[in-house]
């Protein structure tokens, strides 16, 4: 499983490669398993023709905020990676099919590629309300694990 430094490195690389401000023009899903429980059509409807406003990290999750107030949540699990690729010839063809799970075409003739040889990663599109509820439930779980004071 990627540790926090690896996840932070992916987030910084996405920022440095100009993902913020790009528009997601089209989604191609090569393996829908990583999107469940959402369908490929639902993810496409909620992300295509939206601009990326921010790329950030919360714990080991990569959060890509969109212009409509929704967020793409990516958990890399053990073998996943997100890259912004400018060369249209890379990750094309039968060799790429073994690692490329899905891709977004960006407005700048580049692609946001989601790579995972073992297909363990997860991608979800969340509303701001769903994201807030996930954060709140994580805080509650941590509080429940605190030891009780000795009185």
Confirm whether 126 is domain-assigned.
Answer: yes
Q: What is the pLDDT of residue 147?
A: 61
Tell me how far CA of residue 51 lies from CA of 55, 129, 145, in angstroms.
11, 19, 39
The answer, yes or no, to whether residue 140 has pLDDT greater than 60, is no
Confirm whether 74 is domain-assigned.
Answer: yes
Confirm whether 123 is domain-assigned.
Answer: yes
Tell me how far CA of residue 5 lies from CA of 2, 11, 12, 73, in angstroms.
8, 10, 10, 18
Residue 26 and residue 48: Cα distance in Å, rounded? 6
pLDDT class of 4 with cuts at 50, 70, 90: confident
Q: Kindly state the tokens that stand for 19.
A: 């993902």
Q: What is the pLDDT of residue 100?
A: 82
* Structural domain count, the chain: 1
Helices of type H across the chain: 4-16, 40-47, 128-145
Q: What is the CATH number of the domain that holds 55?
A: 3.20.190.10
Confirm whether 150 is domain-assigned.
Answer: no
């Amino acid at each position: 499983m990627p540790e926090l430094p690896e996840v932070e490195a992916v987030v910084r690389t996405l920022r440095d490669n100009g993902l913020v401000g790009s528009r997601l023009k089209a989604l191609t899903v090569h393996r829908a398993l990583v999107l469940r429980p959402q369908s490929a059509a639902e993810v496409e409807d909620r992300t295509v023709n939206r601009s990326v406003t921010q790329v950030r990290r919360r714990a080991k999750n990569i959060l890509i905020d969109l212009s409509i107030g929704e967020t793409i949540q990516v958990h890399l699990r053990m073998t996943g990676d997100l890259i912004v690729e400018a060369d249209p010839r890379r990750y094309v063809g039968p060799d790429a099919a073994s690692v490329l799970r899905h891709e977004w075409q960006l407005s700048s003739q580049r692609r946001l590629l989601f790579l995972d040889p073992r297909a363990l990663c997860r991608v979800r599109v969340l509303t701001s309300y769903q994201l807030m509820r996930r954060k709140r439930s994580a805080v509650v779980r941590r509080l429940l694990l605190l030891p009780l004071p000795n009185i």
